[in-house]
Structure 1
Amino acid sequence: MEASLRQADGVASERPLAFDRKSGRLSGAGVIDRVAVLALQAGSVITRPYGHRGYRHGCKAVATVVADRDIIVRLNEDADFAIPFCDGYWSRMLNPRYDYEEEIEAFLRCAADLRYSFVDCGANFGYWSVLASSRPFGRQPTLAIEASPENAKRLGANALLNGDRFRWLNAAVGGQAAGFVRITGARHEALETLRLTENEPDAVTVVSLDSLVAGGLVDASLPVVVKLDVEGVEIEALTGAERLMHRDCVVICEEHGSDTTHGITRHLLEEMS
């Protein structure tokens, strides 16, 4: 029985695995894949009240019984987002009742009738870039920037999956367009940036938001919306956006709950007002 199930799943693994968040439809899945998705969904429901704490461990356990491949999550009728099957962070998107960073989504939905340039700093696999450039969100001209070379590969794959409708860069956002950094860490959503004194293998170039505008990668003739989630270097990135901030610009920043000084908000209010 087990052998026949695995044989059936082997045939299914040759087809693209996809999940539609709106309809709940799962395609390209064998029996084991379907059970795995149910487990991932249940795990999200159970751990969601606790900020998905411990969810990663469950995903890791489920991953041991399925093929190593991607699953495409359909976010809306014009947005596909590919992630590793059983990814410890993004698998929560298989729970249709889970809303990822709903404050950002609400803002972008409200602005869908406007025309603006969207800059996704710390894009990871490109979730917000895929959405902002999709039809329900106004098909905004979008630039995604991701420092991690491994994450950037997935970012590029998601751009291709959606018709290459947004630009992307493998670069780190900093205070000025100079120098190099190395990206370290074991979890793709929680990496750290190490400043380097010179170029070396796996080094990543540093860019500034102002330099991207000057280079024509961001159309500043439009209002600009910047999503800034760059793992601890937000203030440095804002320093490199001084000219941009004097234009028609909105910045959406992540401020970690453990920062009792509210450093990013304080910097915006006191240094850049």
Structure 2
Amino acid sequence: MSCFQVNIHIVKTLTIIGLIVSRQEILEQLKKNNGAWRIIPSVIKNDQGEPEFDMLLANAEMQDPGTASLNFRETRCGGFEYASRAFLHAHLEPGDLFIDVGAHFGLYTLTAAKKYPGKINVLAIEPHPENLKRLSMWCEFNECVQNVKIAQCAASSQSGQSELIQNSSMGHSLVPQPGNRNQGKPISVRLETIDNIVRQAGFMDSKERIFLKIDTEGHELATLMGGLDILKTGRVAAIIWEKGHFHNSEKGIKEFASIMGLLRDMGYESYRFPHEDMGGPLVPYSPSHELCNVISIDRSLTPLPVYDQPWTAHTIMSPSMRPPVSENFMIGFTEQLIKDKKTDCGRWSRWDMLGTEADLRAGMAGQLVPENSSVLDAGAGMMLLRDYIPESSTYTPLDIVARNRNTIIADLNQQQFPEQDFDVICALYLLEFIHEPQLFLDWSFKHADKLILIYHPLVPGREVSKRRQAGFFNDFNINKLKLMVEKAGWKEVRISDITFGQACFECLK
């Protein structure tokens, strides 16, 4: 197959309808066309607390679902894919190279280029001509032309030509997508491998550490196969890649498994964030039906315990991000989590999946909290316990995502136990989802004078499969759990039965 040169250029000017556009000219056009455009400041801030870059969006483009989602989530919901961008922002250093495959308008490109202006090289790869116009405009407007190169092509496993299926600006794809509605005729685009693009851009023989982001709408496996040379150099510290709708199809499931196997064999550990638009801890990834970004990290890079959290409202992710599944699927998914000892973190980031009878549990536990107590609510959820404890007591939530500014963010299945001491620790509807509950009980004994547990004990005659369907990781009856509590050191254990098959344990030293 013949090869051809990819159109790679340093962004210096933007040509739109024959005009050379600079930042000042864009600003002048904005003044003349008041209301036609909007400037969206990035939620990522610099050291002075100011937005690191601005995004230009035309009001006429808001009919495009991708553009509308970008605008809404960036301005109202903490930031579009804030968690993955916070990861990138936290680890980039001067001298690094960022490769943005499926760059769209340049959200990740600018996140990297503006972290240390002029000191991080960026290679952006984008095939769609309209997206390229906006990408170039954003780079010009934010004055990062010296360190950004753009390749006008689609990344794949080999060089060639293919049809790009047009959808929303964020949904153009080489692979047919389940349920997608086409918005135009397919267009012909160039295909090129990441390795060839990197060579032609002059980065293959350099020594820069590399961060790679891939969002190619189901074409991720072919994209990675075209970048094996760069992966084998050992320079790629982390890969941010999308698990999308395609990966829940029969073919996509197989390709997803191949990606995970390929990266694992190359020494990468894969993680995800509990919520795409929030920060928090990276949680070891276990294949699921959820749509999310997967972050695969080389051994040379040490993840942070917790990543930055945007303090604004966050959206409840679309139901399509966690598609409904059969009972048998949920049973198998829970069993896989048990085998891997991993957390169903996506579940706990969603307000609409925090379980039932939460008010009942909070009211029961709140009655057992003494006056003037410091209270830790482990697995705080909607923080209902806060409304039931005495007014003289202080309340601290612990959860896998931030529930308020005082939240201790932790994944307890990674034994991320806080070192603070409290008068009372409450664990209401928590132990069911802990792989090693004895460790939690031991830790609570060391750090509190009182422990309040509410747990769904195993009922004789009830099928364990029903517990797996509910996502429960363990199956203790009341006597077994009492023995575990006593083993941790708690001397006085009072057990009361509450409705809906739950038991309350009041544990004292």
Aligned to 2:188: 203
2:58 is the counterpart of 1:84: yes
Q: Secondary structure of the residue that 2:137 maps to in structure 1?
A: helix
Instruction: Sort the Cα spacing of 1:202 and 1:104 in 2 relative to 1 into closer, same or farther, 3 A.
Output: same
Deviation, 1:88, is: 2.3
Instruction: Sort the Cα spacing of 1:82 and 1:170 in 2 relative to 1 into closer, same or farther, 3 A.
Output: same
2:81 is the counterpart of 1:101: yes
2:227 is the counterpart of 1:241: yes
Larger RCO (CA under 8 A, 6+ residues apart):
1
Deviation, 1:29, is: 9.6
Asked whether the 8 Å contact 1:124–1:151 carries over to 2, the reply is: yes
Look up the equivalent residue of 1:256 and give its one-letter code. Answer: G
Aligned to 1:189: 170
2:156 is the counterpart of 1:174: yes
Aligned to 2:203: 218
CA distance in 1, matches of 2:78, 2:246: 23
CA distance in 2, matches of 1:92, 1:174: 31
Q: Secondary structure of the residue that 2:105 maps to in structure 1?
A: coil
Asked whether the 8 Å contact 1:79–1:134 carries over to 2, the reply is: yes
Q: Secondary structure of the residue that 1:95 maps to in structure 2?
A: helix
Q: Percent identity?
A: 21
Aligned to 1:157: 137
Instruction: Sort the Cα spacing of 1:155 and 1:272 in 2 relative to 1 into closer, same or farther, 3 A.
Output: same
CA distance in 2, matches of 1:125, 1:149: 11
Within 5 Å, which residues of 2 pair with 1:34-45? none
CA distance in 2, matches of 1:150, 1:181: 17
2:122 is the counterpart of 1:142: yes
Look up the equivalent residue of 1:144 and give its one-letter code. Answer: A
CA distance in 2, matches of 1:182, 1:245: 27
Deviation, 1:271, is: 7.7
Deviation, 1:254, is: 0.9
Aligned residues: 208
2:96 is the counterpart of 1:116: yes
Question: Unaligned regions of 5+ residues in structure 1, if any?
Answer: 1-12, 18-27, 34-68, 196-200
Instruction: Sort the Cα spacing of 1:271 and 1:233 in 2 relative to 1 into closer, same or farther, 3 A.
Output: farther
Look up the equivalent residue of 1:70 and give its one-letter code. Answer: W
2:244 is the counterpart of 1:265: no
Indicate the structure with greater helix content: 1
Instruction: Sort the Cα spacing of 1:97 and 1:16 in 2 relative to 1 into closer, same or farther, 3 A.
Output: same
CA distance in 1, matches of 2:149, 2:28: 30
CA distance in 2, matches of 1:240, 1:150: 25
The TM-score normalised by the length of structure 1 is 0.66
Deviation, 1:227, is: 0.3
Q: Secondary structure of the residue that 1:193 maps to in structure 2?
A: coil
CA distance in 2, matches of 1:232, 1:150: 21
Asked whether the 8 Å contact 2:97–2:122 carries over to 1, the reply is: yes
Aligned-residue CA RMSD in angstroms?
Answer: 3.1
Asked whether the 8 Å contact 1:184–1:192 carries over to 2, the reply is: yes
Look up the equivalent residue of 1:82 and give its one-letter code. Answer: L
CA distance in 2, matches of 1:226, 1:72: 27
Question: Unaligned regions of 5+ residues in structure 2, if any?
Answer: 1-26, 46-50, 177-185, 269-509
Deviation, 1:119, is: 0.4
CA distance in 2, matches of 1:159, 1:256: 27
Asked whether the 8 Å contact 1:143–1:217 carries over to 2, the reply is: no
Q: Please identify runs of 4+ aligned residues in structure 1 that moved more than 6 A.
A: none
Aligned to 2:452: none
CA distance in 2, matches of 1:133, 1:254: 21
Look up the equivalent residue of 1:81 and give its one-letter code. Answer: M
CA distance in 1, matches of 2:105, 2:85: 17
CA distance in 1, matches of 2:117, 2:91: 8
Aligned to 2:30: 16
CA distance in 2, matches of 1:180, 1:194: 14
CA distance in 2, matches of 1:94, 1:231: 21
